[in-house]
Chain A
Amino acid sequence: MADPMRIRAQAQGDKTTVRVLMSHEMETGQRKDSAGKTVPAWFIQEVSAAHNGKTVMTAQWGPSVAKNPFLQFVIKGAKAGDKVAISWKDNKGDSRSDEAVVS
């Protein structure tokens, strides 16, 4: 299991800005190690975000998203105390879900 995500969700009026920092290598499969062997691709493929249990956004990512990916998006109508859950799944089948409370 990978390290936890850092999620910050801040309400401003009727909009909530969510910032997520995931911990992942995001290996492209193009790089070679010091022995000249290709490092196999290892990256997050699917991300989904839920607001109070209801999925509001899903994303598909390729290997060209940067290492330790950052993601920012805005949820309409979320207010302080609501729960925002983010989960991802990588191409090796590993996954992680984390939750934060809107402040």
Chain B
Amino acid sequence: MSTRREVLAQGASLAAALAGLGLLPQAAQAAWSQAAFEAKTMSDLMKALGTSGPAESKDVSITGPDIAENGAVVPVGAATTLAGAKRLLLLVEKNPAMLAAAFDLSDAVEPNISTRVKMGQSSNVFAVAITADNKVLYAVKEIKVTLGGCGG
């Protein structure tokens, strides 16, 4: 029969053990790069990701509508023909935070991703490819939004 004090002590040590293993949500979230998702400009974002300034390239392509009727659901895709692309980013320039999504690719996946993003207002949308040798290349497309997707 354990006393209340012992039970409390066990609980505390279990919590400490779980935190050490990264099983608690707070600890697990450390893997998500907060700084990158708070970046407001391209240069802030590149700093947060630890890469150099981007260059526009024909090897990267972005797909999306010219005009999005509903900013809450804008289908966009990023693709590249570059060999050795390890990361694809989707950025929406005028959203509160620029970075929408970052995809880390292995060799078994084609560098061609589609998803849907929210857009607060008409803005440039970037597809950025980062290669294994840290080259940063992008493609840009302006998407006009007739109905914003960020509340208000």
* A interface residues (Cβ-Cβ under 8 A, vs B): 15, 26, 28, 30-32, 45-46, 49, 51, 54-67, 69-77, 89, 91-93
Binds A, one of B1-9, B51-59, B107-115, B127-135: B107-115
Category for how many chain B residues contact A: 35 or more
Residues B150 and A28 in contact, CB atoms below 8 Å apart: yes
From B72, B96, B107, B112, A74 is in contact (CB under 8 Å) with B112
A residues near B15, Cβ cutoff 8 Å: none
A residues near B107, Cβ cutoff 8 Å: 76
Residues B32 and A28 in contact, CB atoms below 8 Å apart: no
Cβ contacts B100-121/A at 8 Å (1 or 0 each): 1111111111101111111100
CA distance A86 to B118 in the complex (A): 22
Task: State which residues 74-94 of B face A: CB under 8 Å.
Answer: 74-75, 77, 92
Residues A65 and B150 in contact, CB atoms below 8 Å apart: no
| Chain A interface SS verdict (over half) | strand
Q: Answer whether A66 and B25 are a contact pair too, CB < 8 Å, given A57-B105, A77-B108.
A: no
A residues near B64, Cβ cutoff 8 Å: none
B residues near A60, Cβ cutoff 8 Å: 32-33, 36-37, 101-102, 104
| CB closest residue in chain B, given A89 | B28
Q: Answer whether A64 and B113 are a contact pair too, CB < 8 Å, given A46-B31, A75-B108.
A: no
Q: Which of B73, B75, B96, B115 is packed against the most chain A CB atoms within 10 Å? A: B115
A32: shortest Cβ distance to chain B, in Å? 7
Q: Which of A31, A46, A74 is packed against the most chain B CB atoms within 10 Å? A: A74
From A28, A62, A71, A93, B113 is in contact (CB under 8 Å) with A71
CA distance A74 to B78 in the complex (A): 12
A residues near B99, Cβ cutoff 8 Å: 62
B residues near A77, Cβ cutoff 8 Å: 108
From A58, A61, A66, A93, B149 is in contact (CB under 8 Å) with A66
CA distance A26 to B107 in the complex (A): 29
Instruction: Answer whether residue B122 sits at the interface, using C-beta atoms and an 8 A cutoff.
Output: no
Residues B106 and A56 in contact, CB atoms below 8 Å apart: yes
Residues A64 and B105 in contact, CB atoms below 8 Å apart: no
